[in-house]
Structure 1
Amino acid sequence: MSTVLSIASLLLGSALLLMAGGLHGLLLPIRGLAEGFSDTALGMLGAGWAVGYVAGCMLVPVIVKRVGHIRTFGVLASVAAITMLLNLLFMTPTVWVPLRAVTGFCFAGAAMIVESWLNERASNQTRGRIFGIYTMINLGATTIGQMLLTLGDATGFVFFVVGSIIYSLSLLPTALSTAATPTPLTQARLDLGALWRNSPVAVVAVLLIGISNGAFGTLGAVYGRKIGLSISDIAVMMSLALLIGAIIQIPVGLLSDKVDRRAVLVGMGILATVTGLALSVADSMGPVAVIVLVSAFGGMIYSMYPVILAHASDHAAPGDFLKTSGGLLLIFGAGTMVGPVAAAALMSASTPGALFHVTAAAHLAMVLFTAWRMTRRPAVRVEEKSDFVPVIATARFSTPESAVLDPRADERGI
């Protein structure tokens, strides 16, 4: 409890940031659809976010090194608040897409700074607990942000103003924090050759689930609206997908610690493929059936990333965990740039359910490649495995600093 109280202001700042981000991320596709934006334009919002997020992971550490953590966080939170108001003032895709990239950049940097502070306050004994508390608080805050949309009319101006206010409030706890200035931020770098030598399955699978998760995270709300779901139904649907994904990680993690993680990944990929194909023809089903199917789908897609990361960690040399996890994060980000654009193009040419044709294709490709690799490389012995650690597989919850806070960083000799 004393540890939690000592970082309460940082956790509050992060929660407010994620709450605003949850509201912002779900509001834009719903409002864009109401304004008549094309599927392609809505898909570009997801691609813009991913570009900005990856750029933030690479460039914000340089900015922090020059002007410090507190000033940088304040600027990033303020700019995020401004972009949400600009979304309200300029209802056009040509403005929204670059603004979404700016938001992704700000979000990456702000999250990294909070995580850097938390890591500074964590000891080897408390790092795992702090990491778990931080993840759960952020998950709850994102859910609350998304559920705020059930309280009013998404076609008005109120939610844009509320989101901007919450973004602004997120800078206050860190600005008033008495925590010591953290060490410099970890900068993500991509060494594709080293990652491939470490684990080809991790490289291919993380790219493919980036495509899938990016497509669903950006266009899931558009799919729901086009098949006739209410905004309240969509908010519940998207929130449950994330929550079930977090809960499912507990049994998935226990299983993957005992058997070949690649076999677990194959099984989850098959279930995600089948569920996605069912959703592609679910437009005639009622809201309850769709929400149940999406919840099961979310349980699979949001549980794959930690299995992939754990598999890569099993093969990483001591001291290489940060480099491995940071590289995989960038590959995941690249996938989230491609997924929304590909899915939007297919939805425009076909039906809303075509979103899940893209996800099914990604998951099936992952299953086939992983199954083939199982015949080429023996499984890691149970006693040689690193511990499974739950990680929410969306860019809003993963940055290079998350890897520093991950207890496996210390376990692997960092």
Structure 2
Amino acid sequence: MVKSLLPLTALLMGSAFLLFAGGVNSLILPIRGEAEGFSAAALGLLGTGWAIGYVAGCLRTPALVAKVGHIRAFGAMCAIAAIAVLMSLLLVTPWVWVPVRALSGFCFAAAAMVVESWLNERADAASRGRIFGIYTMVNLMATTAGQMVLTLGDASGFFFFVLAAMVYCLALLPTAISATTTPRPLTQVSLNLPALWKNSPIAVFAVLMVGISNASFGTLAAVYAARIGLPLTDIALFASIPILAGAIMQLPVGIASDRYDRRVVLLGIAVLALVADVLFITVGGAGPLVAMGLAALFGATVFTMYPMIVAHANDHAEPGSFIQVSGGLLLVYGVGSIVGPSVAGFAMTSFGTSSLFLTTGFAHVLLILFAIVRIRFAPAVAPDDKGAFQAAPLARISTPETVALAADQEELEADQPDIVDQVGRPDPADMPSVDET
């Protein structure tokens, strides 16, 4: 197993550097912005800008790569992302930070898609699941490490901005000096809302609400933590614990959703998320231990919903539509991510710090009501028609290429037969040697 993974080291290192820098950048901006006196509304727009850029990157990167090639596109995106971080340091104003954050989102999506396309090329039928699992684990560890590194210094200086920019530059080195062959064309998906709604109305509505909720929290959690008086170390923990809790809980939630009606399981998880919202509003400021416990409960619920929703949608999907359905839902999640942070930011500015969880709570209430209606009036999927639940990385760092990497070989061939015929199945014997990487 180790021997088969060594040729992928360069790609995994590039991805780890990319996610580490992204973790640093995503947390230092709201913390520094709060210290500079930015309003919550302005800080919420950072999340909206990121989501706009990220969705645009998912949609436009295939054409960009087709024109200039994978390596040039990846190197350019990493370089521009580094420049964007440094520009945020030089020009400390929301008028610059919001568009620059959108640029960062585009670059991040484009770079991630290129890395994932290489991994997809290297994955054969026997190793696809293992490679996807390792890739997901690497990204989780790198993102968490990037956020936790903020506990080691002072957010008021330049250190963390420069660190993020340096690591973005490091991300381009492993692929730039690798002899890995150029992979196939990138996966393209479109946002076909009528088709997605016809396939599974609850999946479309639920993933939109989850996008609103999760992006609101992901953007403004650090602002909330700072305003209830947590020190920098605890702020980093407050932002990281939900991600780890969500990753841990995906396994038991997945087992439950495979065994029972996924809509019922989703309803139960949404109710628990609403409980976390209410507790945050009522006792969230009672102290660091209370805040950390509620953050764990919140993350264990909200970060397990997305993969369950995708699994439910694919239970209804026609054969050969896995990538288009999953990729389309990812774009719907992106739409929610555009809306949520700006709404939550304006709510926090107008009604107080706890209004962050009024926003997430409202999204969870709507999800609960819609799920009850669908459970009441639409039949459940027959057990024999259900696919297996598959754990997934955070939706905000997933791309259409992540979806393709997560697909098994039969799904990939059914969804993209022209590409599979063009490049063939990857042969382990054709992988570059350890020396080549």
Tell me if both proteins adopt one fold, taking TM over 0.5 as the criterion: yes
- Give the CA deviation at 1:3: 2.4
Report 1:284-303 matches (<5 A): 284-303=285-304
Match of 1:139 in 2: 140
Alpha carbons 1:403, 1:409 under 8 Å: kept: no
1:107 counterpart = 2:108: yes
1:51 counterpart = 2:52: yes
SS at match of 2:272: helix
SS at match of 1:37: coil
Structure 1 pair 283–202 and aligned structure 2 pair: CA distance change class (3 A): closer
Match of 2:375 in 1: 374
SS at match of 2:125: coil
> How far apart in 2 are the matches of 1:409 and 1:211?
32
> Please, what is the CA RMSD of the aligned residues?
1.0
Question: Unpaired runs of 5+ in structure 1?
Answer: none
> How far apart in 1 are the matches of 2:408 and 2:270?
25
SS at match of 1:190: coil
SS at match of 1:7: helix
- Give the CA deviation at 1:326: 1.1
Give CA-to-partner distance per residue, 1:236-285, whole Å, 9 cap, x none. 11111001100100000011001000001000000000111101223441
One-letter code of the match for 1:207? L
SS at match of 2:57: helix
Match of 2:174 in 1: 173
Alpha carbons 1:112, 1:399 under 8 Å: kept: yes
> How far apart in 1 are the matches of 2:206 and 2:54?
20
Residues 177-186 or 135-144, more deviating: 177-186
Report 1:81-120 matches (<5 A): 81-120=82-121
Question: Unpaired runs of 5+ in structure 2?
Answer: 416-437
Match of 1:251 in 2: 252
Q: Percent identity?
A: 53
> How far apart in 1 are the matches of 2:277 and 2:393?
20
Alpha carbons 1:321, 1:408 under 8 Å: kept: no
1:219 counterpart = 2:220: yes
Match of 2:405 in 1: 405
One-letter code of the match for 1:199? S
> How far apart in 2 are the matches of 1:118 and 1:221?
33
> How far apart in 1 are the matches of 2:178 and 2:365?
47
> How far apart in 2 are the matches of 1:283 and 1:319?
46
> How far apart in 1 are the matches of 2:142 and 2:75?
20
Alpha carbons 1:23, 1:148 under 8 Å: kept: yes
Alpha carbons 1:387, 1:408 under 8 Å: kept: no
Match of 2:426 in 1: none
> How far apart in 1 are the matches of 2:281 and 2:29?
23
Give CA-to-partner distance per residue, 1:79-102, whole Å, 9 cap, x none. 000110000000000000000000
> How far apart in 1 are the matches of 2:36 and 2:189?
37
> How far apart in 2 are the matches of 1:111 and 1:261?
30
Report 1:198-217 matches (<5 A): 198-217=199-218
> How far apart in 2 are the matches of 1:74 and 1:88?
22
One-letter code of the match for 1:407? A
Give CA-to-partner distance per residue, 1:145-168, whole Å, 9 cap, x none. 000100000000011111100000
> How far apart in 1 are the matches of 2:169 and 2:236?
23
> How far apart in 2 are the matches of 1:387 and 1:16?
31
Q: With structure 1 as the length reference, what TM-score do the two structures score?
A: 0.98
Report 1:16-165 matches (<5 A): 16-165=17-166
> How far apart in 2 are the matches of 1:345 and 1:62?
36
Alpha carbons 2:211, 2:337 under 8 Å: kept: yes
One-letter code of the match for 1:410? E
Q: With structure 2 as the length reference, what TM-score do the two structures score?
A: 0.93
Match of 2:434 in 1: none
> How far apart in 1 are the matches of 2:225 and 2:157?
20
One-letter code of the match for 2:350? A
1:188 counterpart = 2:189: yes
> How far apart in 2 are the matches of 1:243 and 1:407?
24
One-letter code of the match for 1:280? I
Match of 2:350 in 1: 349
- Give the CA deviation at 1:321: 0.6
- Give the CA deviation at 1:408: 4.3
> How far apart in 1 are the matches of 2:39 and 2:276?
26
